Amino acid sequence: MIDLVVKSCGPMTALQDRGRFGYQGFGVSPSGAMDRRALAMANALVGNPHDMGAIEFVNLGGSFNGEGGDLHLAVAGAGVSASIDGTPIPPLTSFVLKEGQSLEVGHPRTGTFAYLAVAGGVAVELQLGSVSFHLRSRLGGLKGAPLQAGNRLLCRPENQTGEPMQLSVDILEGTGPLRVMMGPQDDYFTPESISLLLESEFTISPQADRMGFQLTGPKLEHAKGFNIVSDGIVDGHIQVPGSGQPIVLMRDRQTAGGYPKIATVISADLARLAQMRPGAKLRFKAVGRDEAVAAARQLKDWIASLPGHLTPVRYSLTTEHLLSRNLIGGTVDALSPAGHD
């Protein structure tokens, strides 16, 4: 096996994949990557399934090296940059980290979440079918914890022989208001509150994490009180507690809650919301089921298309590149008989 060794990283750097499903009835949060588009791009670059586990960075980057062999890696998401021994790596390009070299991953510049994928994934034990780390339950990750300096992630040497690739694809960034479907408890709010939700500007507060994004803006008044019999929660539910300030529930959300949900951010827009930082302004737009389903299918098709947008990296024929390719197949002595043909 080859070790990917963590030299430094931020406090919430952790392993994430698509999440764990089938256990919400037992109170287990799905968790999973906050930006599944970026996770899919990093995985595509190294030949992995789109939802395979990778290292998720939150606001900060990290540094790594490999021990025991070369590693085929890629980074993607939030305008993150990377370099090997100080040499920058082009965006959306996979690369080989040779033993003894140092990889530096910069902090996300245009959002919050970025991903480092290794060919073949990392060999860590699945918990309930997933490597995704969930902070509050200490489930998943590396032995129930986020990553820290000194951690070693086992990687499979048979997967590290792939050719460096580049990804040329239009990223589904999205613009304009975040799309929502109203409900499931929009009848618990006054008509004025419904109008405020869809016509006002809200700000992401500093109380925003993987569990939920608290928003500040006009107070949303309840028509039937703010307590309901606890029912199921899904990603994107916008619940409104007694304060009248909405909270958008994210990947690490609870599985049931007792506040009414005025609307639900559609699945196709969740990654865009996840990459918005505290202080960012946002608006909501109500859409119907057909548009929400069409957007989900578009995202699914886009992720499935990523391998078709990969091309081998084309290097310029510099002296440094030629020397790195170990092109010499042998030597002969010009003075020996074997050297005279």
Instruction: Note whether residue 236 is domain-resident.
Output: yes
Instruction: Note whether residue 233 is domain-resident.
Output: yes
Domain boundary among 118, 139, 167: 167
Return d(Cα 341, Cα 333) in angstroms, integer: 12
Instruction: Note whether residue 260 is domain-resident.
Output: yes
Phi, psi angle pair for 310, to nearest 5°: -90, 140
AA letter at 171: I
Beta bridge partners, 117, equal 74
- Residue 163 and residue 14 share a domain: yes
AA letter at 253: R
Tokens of 187: 């009848």
Going 133 to 205 to 39 to 86, the CA torsion angle's sign is: negative
Return d(Cα 310, Cα 26) in angstroms, integer: 41
| Domain count within the chain | 2
pTM above 0.75, yes or no: yes
pLDDT digits (tens, 9 = 90+) for 136-153: 999 999 999 999 999 999
Residue 217: name the closest of 281, 292, 291 by CA. Answer: 281
Instruction: Note whether residue 308 is domain-resident.
Output: no
Tokens of 329: 């197949």
- Residue 152 and residue 106 share a domain: yes
How high is the pLDDT of residue 333?
Answer: 59
Instruction: Note whether residue 317 is domain-resident.
Output: no
- Residue 243 and residue 206 share a domain: yes
- Residue 231 and residue 101 share a domain: no
Task: Please give the residue range of the domain that contains residue 24.
Answer: 2-167
- Residue 239 and residue 186 share a domain: yes
- Residue 219 and residue 132 share a domain: no
- Residue 186 and residue 120 share a domain: no
Residue 62: name the closest of 15, 122, 120, 29 by CA. Answer: 15
- Residue 70 and residue 183 share a domain: no
CATH (domain of 269): 2.40.100.10
CA angle 314, 315, 317 (to 5 degrees): 135
Could you identify the residue written with the tokens 């339950």? 137
pLDDT digits (tens, 9 = 90+) for 1-39: 899 999 999 999 999 999 999 999 999 999 999 999 999
- Residue 152 and residue 14 share a domain: yes
Instruction: Note whether residue 145 is domain-resident.
Output: yes
- Residue 147 and residue 9 share a domain: yes
DSSP 8-state assignment for residue 188: G
Tokens of 269: 């827009």
How high is the pLDDT of residue 172?
Answer: 79
- Residue 236 and residue 209 share a domain: yes
Confidence bin at 337 (pLDDT 50/70/90): low
pLDDT digits (tens, 9 = 90+) for 33-57: 999 999 999 999 999 999 999 999 9
- Residue 287 and residue 228 share a domain: yes
